[in-house]
């Protein structure tokens, strides 16, 4: 019997990473498999734990609904759930299983890992009535499911469901009826979505659904129409319309199709007006996907060929007016119409910024190598997006690259941009310390621009902070705002962190920020970004009339 049991368990793990037995109170009574790797807890330590403690908060209501459905005699079919990993990461798993009343009314669950993703949206991002995530959460989850489907060779459709009249219907219902309607609607969309979770509220009366091509969308429309009509005390219901985009007809691989999908959802959010028709929406989505596919191709070509230039802008020590280091900025001299900001922003939106950041790092390192061979001593800061630090592959490649080029210590700095996209501060701080231990200084860019700035300052051990230019601008215009600038500089000083002020564009700004305790400055007063770093005289004080050219050497 023991041998037979072990054989069946072995077979079970052929298609599962974790096996769980859950009692009627959703408490774990048996656990086996890769629980340590995926949850940070040994199988024995999970006994007695609640199943809901293992998944992210935004998945708990969905999981509860799935279990309640299973108790009615239905098999749990490939439902996507997200498990909290041991270091704060989130693993995407597929849940399948049964409820067996003959075995104590227990649930027997199988969890199989599909991949990893960044932390999910905050709980507030999910609609408490329908249980569906907002557009940001939907695009994130949908991108994961789209890549998974592409890896299996499955055709996928992105459908937008319009429910004209839903707002008025909700107003005609009491709280209980409204809650039942919205939860049933959310469940109906989730059960037809890829992975059981690739559905979301796009805003207003529009919902998004990523699904298999074989789904009968007309039948879904009929079901939603009946649901709304039955719930409406006046019998009007809603007008259900749909617009579909085939995700596999644009020559994109799974990763790029996912990127195009994310961008399409974000573009949909920007569409305004109450008169948007489903026909216009369908045309707009198709056009958006075509344009996005082309931009992705162009962006990939630029990154792979490193078809961009580097411009340098000096960061000045305000007390001495001497250059401390330079910031490296991307420029497209061969294509004047390409905006560096728009290029980087698009790369951020479609998930290609990690590739661009690595290309930029390699380009700057090559430049520093040539400068060093020419006996020119420069220190250069390169920007790294907060999104890039969430990529295990990016971090591994970066650390390996720096290990191979230990001579860069003291010459290469890193500025963390888009810090609002840092999901796992513990993991990010560990990466930062790896960089600092290797002799590379780290700066947090645009400090103060977001609500969580001080939270980042507490969680991340860094060397420098670049204060957002808005603080400098406000301090120039309003005396009261100078106290905020002084408070930021003072706090950073107490923590041993140097400060850099942006938007230094006139002499009086230097005196202002210095009086507030800021150590370094950057702005047009000291020089606009230039492709020729030798245009900045390294030996003279910046911001004063130029003397005859001297030997150029950075500090």
pTM of the model: 0.63
Q: What are the counts of helices (DSSP H) followed by strands (DSSP E) for the chain?
A: 18, 17
Going residue by residue through the chain (555 aa), what tens digit of pLDDT does each one get? 555 555 554 545 456 788 999 999 999 999 888 888 788 888 888 999 999 888 877 667 667 877 887 787 767 777 777 887 776 667 778 888 888 888 888 999 988 875 444 334 333 356 778 889 888 788 888 888 888 888 788 888 889 898 999 999 999 999 999 999 999 999 899 989 988 889 998 888 889 899 998 999 999 999 999 999 999 999 999 999 998 888 776 566 666 777 777 777 776 666 655 455 666 666 666 777 777 778 888 888 899 999 999 999 999 999 999 999 999 999 987 766 678 888 988 888 777 899 999 999 999 999 999 999 999 999 999 999 988 887 778 888 998 899 999 999 999 999 998 766 676 777 788 889 889 989 999 999 988 765 567 778 888 899 999 998 888 999 988 888 899 899 999 999 999 999 999 999 999 999 999 999 999 999 999 999 999 999 886 544 556 543 333 333 333
Rg (CA), the chain: 27
The separation between CA 360 and the C-alpha centre of its own chain, rounded to angstroms, equals 20
DSSP state of 271: -
Q: Whose structure tokens read 């907002």?
A: 134
Q: What is the dihedral of CA 301, 304, 309, 313, to 10 degrees?
A: 120
Listing from the earlier edge strand, what are the strands of the sheet with 76-84?
A: 28-33, 18-22, 106-117, 90-100, 76-84
Q: Which residues contact 247 (CB under 8 A, 6 or more apart)?
A: 146, 155, 156, 157, 158, 210, 257, 260, 261, 289
380 close to 328: Cβ distance less than 8 angstroms: yes
């Amino acid at each position: 019997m023991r041998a037979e049991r072990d054989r069946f368990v072995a077979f079970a793990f052929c298609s599962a990473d974790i096996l769980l037995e859950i009692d009627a109170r959703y408490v774990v009574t048996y656990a086996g498999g890769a629980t340590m790797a995926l949850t940070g807890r040994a199988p024995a330590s999970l006994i007695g734990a609640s199943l809901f403690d293992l998944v992210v908060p935004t998945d708990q209501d969905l999981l509860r609904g799935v279990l309640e459905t299973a108790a009615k005699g239905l098999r749990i079919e490939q439902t996507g759930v997200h498990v909290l990993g041991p270091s704060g990461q989130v693993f995407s798993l597929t849940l399948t299983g049964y409820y067996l009343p003959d075995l104590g009314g227990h649930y027997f669950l199988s969890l199989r890992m599909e991949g990893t993703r960044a932390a999910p949206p905050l709980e507030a991002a999910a609609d408490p009535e329908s249980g569906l995530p907002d557009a940001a959460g939907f695009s994130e989850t949908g991108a994961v499911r789209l890549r998974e489907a592409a890896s299996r060779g499955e055709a996928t459709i992105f459908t937008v469901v319009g429910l004209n009249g839903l707002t008025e219907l909700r107003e005609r219902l009491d709280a209980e009826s409204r809650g039942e309607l919205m939860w049933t609607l959310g469940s109906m969309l989730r059960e037809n979505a890829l992975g059981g979770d690739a559905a979301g509220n796009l805003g207003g009366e529009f919902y998004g659904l990523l699904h298999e091509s074989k789904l009968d969308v007309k039948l879904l429309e009929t079901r939603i129409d009946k649901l709304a009509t039955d719930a409406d005390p006046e019998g009007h219901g809603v007008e259900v319309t749909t617009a579909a985009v085939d995700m596999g007809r644009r020559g994109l691989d799974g990763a790029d199709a996912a990127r195009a999908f994310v961008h399409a959802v974000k573009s949909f959010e920007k569409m305004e007006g109450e008169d948007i028709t489903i026909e216009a929406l369908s045309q707009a989505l198709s056009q958006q996907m075509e344009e996005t596919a082309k931009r992705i191709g162009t962006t990939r070509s630029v990154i792979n060929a490193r078809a961009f230039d580097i411009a340098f802008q000096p960061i000045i020590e305000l007390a001495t007016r001497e250059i401390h280091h330079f910031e490296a900025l991307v420029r497209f001299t061969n294509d004047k119409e390409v905006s560096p900001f728009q290029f980087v922003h698009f790369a951020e939106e479609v998930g290609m910024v990690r590739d661009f950041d690595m290309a930029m790092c390699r380009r700057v390192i090559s430049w520093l190598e040539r400068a060093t061979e020419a006996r020119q001593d420069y220190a250069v800061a390169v920007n790294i997006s907060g999104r890039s630090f969430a990529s295990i592959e990016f971090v591994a490649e970066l650390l390996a690259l720096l290990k191979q080029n230990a001579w860069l210590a003291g010459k290469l700095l890193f500025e963390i941009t888009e810090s609002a996209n840092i999901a796992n501060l513990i993991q990010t701080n560990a990466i930062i310390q790896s960089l600092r231990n290797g002799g590379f200084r780290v700066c947090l860019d645009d400090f103060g621009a977001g609500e969580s700035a001080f939270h980042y300052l507490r969680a991340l051990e860094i060397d420098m902070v670049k204060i957002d230019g808005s603080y400098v601008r406000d301090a120039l215009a309003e005396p009261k705002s100078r106290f905020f600038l002084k408070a930021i500089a003072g706090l950073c000083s107490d923590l041993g962190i140097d400060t850099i002020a942006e938007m230094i564009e006139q002499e009086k700004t230097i005196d202002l920020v210095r009086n507030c305790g800021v150590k370094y400055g950057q702005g047009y007063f000291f020089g606009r970004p230039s492709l020729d770093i030798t245009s900045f005289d390294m030996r003279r004080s910046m911001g004063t009339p130029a003397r005859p050219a001297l030997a150029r050497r950075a500090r």
